[in-house]
Amino acid sequence: MAKKTSKTRYINLSSNSGGFSAIFKRFKGGKNEYNFDDLSVLRRILSNEKARILHVIKTKKPESIYSLAKTLNRDFKSVSEDIKLLEQVGFIELVADKKGKRIRHKPVLSVDEILISFNI
């Protein structure tokens, strides 16, 4: 049986002139790095709604963004915007699935762990 590798995102917050600056890194060995100057970006990414989205993707495995929005009982446009942000920072990926003439995008978790550290 193959050993499952963990996909971890690291978020390091460092005190910078009386405030925190955030540095996002993809899982170990990843080449992409996300740098944010403002803690408000971290708050946007780690909101309760984004946490609900990640939980539903993990537990219900929706077949499309539309299905995800229905499950969450939220507006499709709002969920789509949240998905784009979560995809941009590497928390999820969208897998294209062609059904007839339509292509739907299935949201899939890219991470199984998010570690946040505070350096003072």
pLDDT at 31: 46
pLDDT at 1: 47
Name the token pair of 13: 């917050």
Amino acid at 7: K
The dotted CATH code for 8-119 is 1.10.10.10
For 5-41, letters b (16+ CB in 10 Å) and e give eebebbbebeeeeeebbbebbbbeeeeeebebeeeeb
Q: CB 58: neighbour CB atoms within 10 A?
A: 13
Note down pLDDT in tens along the chain; length 120 residues.
444 566 888 777 776 666 666 655 544 444 455 555 556 777 788 899 999 999 999 999 999 999 999 999 999 999 999 999 999 888 999 999 888 898 999 999 999 888 877 777
What pTM, to 2 d.p., does this model score?
0.77
Contacts of 8 (CB under 8 A, 6+ apart): 27, 28, 111, 112, 113, 114, 115
pLDDT at 34: 55
